[in-house]
Amino acid sequence: MPRTVRDVVFVDGVRTPFGKAGPKGIYHETRADDLVVKAIRELLRRNPGLDPKKIDEVAIAATTQIGDQGLTLGRTAGILAGLPQSVPGYSIDRMCAGALTAVTTAAGSVAFGAYDAVIAGGVEHMGRHPMGEGVDPNPRFVSDKLVDESALFMGMTAENLHDRYPTITKLRADEYAVRSQEKAAKAYANGKIQQDLVPISVRNTNAEVGETGWGLVTADEPMRPGTTLENLAGLKTPFRVHGRVTAGNAAGLNDGATASIIASEEFARENGLPVRMRLVSYAFAGVEPEVMGYGPIPATEKALAKASLSIEDINLFEINEAFAVQVLAFLEHYGIADDDARVNQYGGAIAYGHPLASSGVRLMTQLARQFEEQPEVRYGLTTMCVGFGMGATVIWENPHHKDAGGDK
Amino acid sequence: MSTTELLKGAAELFPDEVVTSAHVRHLDLPFGAGRFALITLDNGLDHTKPTTFGPASLANLNLAVDQVEKEAAAGEITGVGITGKPFIFAVGADLKGVELLKEHKDALAIGKGGHEVFKRLSALAVPTFAYYNGAAMGGGVEVGLHCTYRTVSASLPAFSLPEVFLGLVPGWGGCTLLPNLIGAEKAVSVIIENSLNQNKQLKGAQVYELGIADALFEGADFLEQSLLWTAAVLKGEIVVDRPAVDRGEAWDQAVAKGRFVADSKVHGAAPAAYRALDIIAAAKNGDLQQGYDAEDQALADLIMGGELRAGIYAFNLVQKRGKRPAGAPDKSLARPVTKVGVVGAGLMASQLALLFLRRLEVPVVLTDIDQERVDKGVGYVHAEIDKLLGKGRINQDKANRLKALVTGVLDKAEGFSDADFVIEAVFEEIGVKQQVFAEVEAVAPAHAILATNTSSLSVSEMASKLKHPERVVGFHFFNPVAILPLLEIVRGEATDDASLATAFAVAKKLKKTAVLVKDAPAFVVNRILTRFMGEIQNVIDEGTPVAVAEKAVEPLGLPMSPLVLLELVGPAIGLHVSETLNRAFPDRFTVSPNLAAVVAAGKRGFYVYDSGKPELDPEVAALLKQGDVVLTEEQVRARVLDAVAQEIGLMLDEGVVAEAQDVDLCLITGAGWPFHLGGITPYLDREGVSQRVNGKPFLAPGVASVPA
């Protein structure tokens, strides 16, 4: 049977405000599954043209798939969100690139013709599920020297990346972090972020944390507007004595969820759904686990090659800021300035937070908004590093561009 | 007296209150709708311990309102919301506190305290919003009625004003505010009809459809959507438009209809419904404070009255004692029941088969003396399963499963060789029953329980000829089996603890209210009803007109008159039980020659209903041979109540049940005797009958009455 590969589009994306993990965080008494369920429900409310019965899959990512992030979250979240029982679902895991992989996996199935429309997203409640919860690494990793001992500690891998790029100093990383906070504050002031946030009701029964009872979260908790270089200079470098990585130039430990609609372009147009981004290519690549943050570089090279594009063709970048050094390494590799205006226009994870498996869709949602505002930009990319030495990149076309859909 | 002082005084009377906190938390509403104060009612326990209002809880809410009132006046907030902990909004006044009240003035303080706190929510400088997130009853519903707006969760499982059901009125604004919000007709349906209809609960969607809530949101993100809606209301983007309330004739008609409903249910015997209707009637003029004052008075009067105390007592019996039967052996002794046998395939046996099948979901085997009867029994069960399927109560898969589980065989050995529990429902004759049990014992496993549904025969005698009489128990259901909750579990002389424990475990799975009774003639309900009916029959036989005898017991507010009940039971069965009891206790139980004549004539009852109302059947009238002693209603009533009090006193002396509480629980759940009587012993106590007949009350003061 002859098949035609179909165009895949990003219809819409939403997320919960992100919270700080831990007993004082806004989501300390909120279940992880409820976060992603509420994101899915908001997505459906915003897109009444999408008949829930026509959703072919719910792909939800989480890194630690136990407890309220277990039980085949894609399926259970679908039922909890009120989707028809006929809509199936599954869980997915590629650590930090979980939601991104949910999108690409779903997109592959859409392109193949197996699905018309999919909910793809992710959740990570790092307060309820701290990084490394329940892991049991095979002792051969160390005995056979398969990976360096630092590979399992993300902060250490970031220090290793600084070693690889000796010109990326702590100062440069801090400067980058300050700009991220500034850009995020500006994006908030201009209402760029709030439009895609799902308000979440939260309960607090601990008077030591703050007012008790039910509240409503409508904004990201981790942001530190007004952060200065001076503030950052004195922070500890917990991963290495005299190191460069601090809590200020890295994303924190966070709670949050995202969800998006991925569909075939034909389905989206037939059902009156918005076409915010068109998928061009995607790629994943592996690198030495102990320099995990290097991953986006080869992943992007692969994705560009598949799309027959070069880095010069990309005019908007959404790079996940797990660590400032990882963004700076990417920019240095591609010869892009640290403060290039095309990069993370709304700021990034250093300001908003990085609830591991949920972050990929945040990047996409923000890129989609930037595409709307900048129709002169034809291509953009979303990229992130992934634990155990991987990188993930998705290249998108701006459907608002005059040449969109045509040949390059 | 200030509200604070009022509540402080009330709290001193109720030191064990489970206190509800009223947390105030601030949040920024979406769409720039401003700073908002949200009050969360939370008793700090999980959803199995619902949030209630006692005086200290009200004082907490009062403090919360103090705070938001200041903030509202200062322009610091744009609105105030109130909601509950997960799954629970609030379920109203804490009844334990009501039970403790000894004086009218204290009862009045509870009513006033609630009003004083709640009504502040309607007088703030900003709009108030109630978010009914979960179960809301009584005062929980009422606190929301004082707010400007309400939203309700589609997942809310239970919403009611159950006060009249217990013997109170919705007295923290319910009687006054609800008709003014949704009109008298709907208010009467909620306050009177639902309450008197076994305390029927509303679901979230109905709360919205009735107009009690202004918006309905699904449970998954109920609070978020309620707050978004709130923001839109505060910004004027949503305007709540409620239909105008008809204050004309419709109001009076609704109240009249409520009185009709009350009459048909309690026959004027319990005051609560009528007091509530009086307040609803007066609320027509829209004067809220006048309504609140009337509510305070009604509450205080009712709290000091015997009907409410009996109502709370009855409620607690059903909710607590009914679930933890007095005298039941340790449940760990119970053996598993994985297959059930039913001897007999007649109507009663088939009904039992259906009940066991639906509740236990294990194989059920019916046997009878010929294939035709067996087929008929199985056919009945299949037809009932199809009815459940047709009504959507079960799905096709469940119907298939249940049908596959029920079988009928002629050969008991084939049917019962692996049964764990065999119940017989054959003809009420001791020889027949003994024969049946002997046959079952020969083929059933050694551990199998042999249960009898006898209503009047001796369980011990039935077991006496068996090799293993220790596994015989009485399992006495009440007709209609599917509806009446009571199951009298009879311990025979030889019955061992493991068999009894198994019987209680089965009863629990059958969702029946099990009461342990001694192997005494006719057990509990039938013995009391037969004594009661016997005295009615006696006075008729002696010469009192039927109508006078019937009317004499109307003030009790029983679900039906004695002769209508006799018709329901069947005169032949009534006669049979009276003969049994007459043999056991000839000095107190008579066999009415008139009843015997009616049965002999093949009549199914005393009345004809040609005119739509019961009228004495002329053919029955012709059969009656009456004496010439004509009593008044009062005399009949005294004689009947004296007889009942005497019988219960003797039963307790004999140890038929552990306590008077069990008698009342049996009468409530097996005969439908009303809450306001507390079954019967609270009524006999408060009317002085117990003292007159037995020289002492059945219950200590305070158990079902105002404490001393």
Position B1 pLDDT exceeds 80:
no
pLDDT at A3: 78
Strands, DSSP E only, in B6-53?
Answer: 21-28, 35-42
Per CB distance under 8 Å, which residues of A are interface residues toward B? Answer: 37-38, 41-42, 80-82, 198-201, 203-205, 211-216, 218-219
Residue B634 is a catalytic residue: no
pLDDT at A4: 84
Q: How far is B223 from chain A (nearest CA, A)?
A: 6
Residues of A with CB below 8 A from B85's CB? 203
pLDDT at B170: 97
Domain ranges of chain B: 3-304, 331-518, 525-655
Terminal C-alpha separation, chain B: 26
Q: Which structure tokens are listed for B30?
A: 């979406």
Asked whether the beta carbons of residue A205 and residue B42 sit closer than 8 angstroms, the reply is yes
To the nearest whole number, what is the mean pLDDT of chain B?
Answer: 95
Asked whether the beta carbons of residue A214 and residue B40 sit closer than 8 angstroms, the reply is yes
Query: Is A393 domain-assigned?
Result: yes
- As for how many domains chain A has, the answer is 1
CB B193 within 8 A of CB B170: no
Give me the residue from A80, A204, A211 closest to B24, CB to CB. Answer: A211
Asked whether the beta carbons of residue A198 and residue B220 sit closer than 8 angstroms, the reply is no
H or E element that contains A113: none
Q: What is the CATH number of domain B331-518?
A: 3.40.50.720
Catalytic residue among B17, B69, B99, B163: B163
Position B3 pLDDT exceeds 90:
no
pLDDT at B610: 87
How buried is A146 (Cβ within 10 angstroms: 0-12 exposed, 13-18 middle, 19+ buried)? exposed
For domain B3-304, the CATH class is: alpha beta
Residues of A with CB below 8 A from B86's CB? 203
Query: Is A322 domain-assigned?
Result: yes
Position B614 pLDDT exceeds 90:
no
Give me the residue from B28, B39, B224 closest to A213, CB to CB. Answer: B39
Position B569 pLDDT exceeds 90:
no
pLDDT at B6: 87
Q: Express as a percent the part of chain B with pLDDT over 90.
A: 92
Closest-approach residue (CA) in chain A for B133: A214
For domain B525-655, the CATH class is: mainly alpha
How many Cβ pairs closer than 8 A exist between chain A and B? 65
Query: Is A147 domain-assigned?
Result: no
Q: Which structure tokens are listed for B439?
A: 């046959």
Asked whether the beta carbons of residue A203 and residue B27 sit closer than 8 angstroms, the reply is no
CB A60 within 8 A of CB A257: no
CB B310 within 8 A of CB B682: yes
Position B50 pLDDT exceeds 80:
yes
**Optimal mutation site among A30, A201, A208, interface B, most CBs of chain B within 10 A:** A201
pLDDT at B640: 97
Can you list the residues of chain A whose pLDDT is less than 50?
none
d(CA B580, CA B457): 8
Asked whether the beta carbons of residue B25 and residue A81 sit closer than 8 angstroms, the reply is no
How does residue B2 score in pLDDT terms, banded at 50, 70 and 90? Answer: confident
Give me the residue from B220, B223, B228 closest to A41, CB to CB. Answer: B220
Q: Which structure tokens are listed for B453?
A: 């549904």
Residues 6 or more apart in contact with residue B332 via CB below 8 angstroms: B501
The boundaries of the domain holding residue A354 are: 8-129+154-397
The ipTM assigned to this model is 0.95
pLDDT at A25: 97
CATH of the domain at A331: 3.40.47.10
| Catalytically active residues of A, by annotation | 96, 354, 385
Burial track A363-402 (b if 16+ CB lie within 10 A, e otherwise):
bbbbbbbbbeebeebbbbbbbbbbbbbbbbbbbbbbbbbe
Query: Is A249 domain-assigned?
Result: yes
Residues of B with CB below 8 A from A38's CB? 220-221, 224
How does residue B249 score in pLDDT terms, banded at 50, 70 and 90? Answer: very high
CB atoms within 10 A of CB A260: 31
Q: Which structure tokens are listed for A293?
A: 């943050």
Q: What is the pLDDT of residues B260-299, one digit of tens each?
A: 999 999 989 999 999 999 999 999 999 999 999 999 999 9
Give me the residue from A37, A81, A213 closest to B25, CB to CB. Answer: A213
Position B76 pLDDT exceeds 80:
yes
Q: Phi/psi class of residue A22: alpha, beta or left (left: φ > 0; alpha: ψ in -120 to 50)?
A: left
Give me the residue from A81, A200, A203 closest to B224, CB to CB. Answer: A200
Q: Which structure tokens are listed for B236?
A: 């004027």
Q: Which structure tokens are listed for B346?
A: 């007649």
pLDDT at B105: 93
Position B613 pLDDT exceeds 90:
no
Q: What is the pLDDT of residues B170-183, one digit of tens each?
A: 999 999 999 999 99
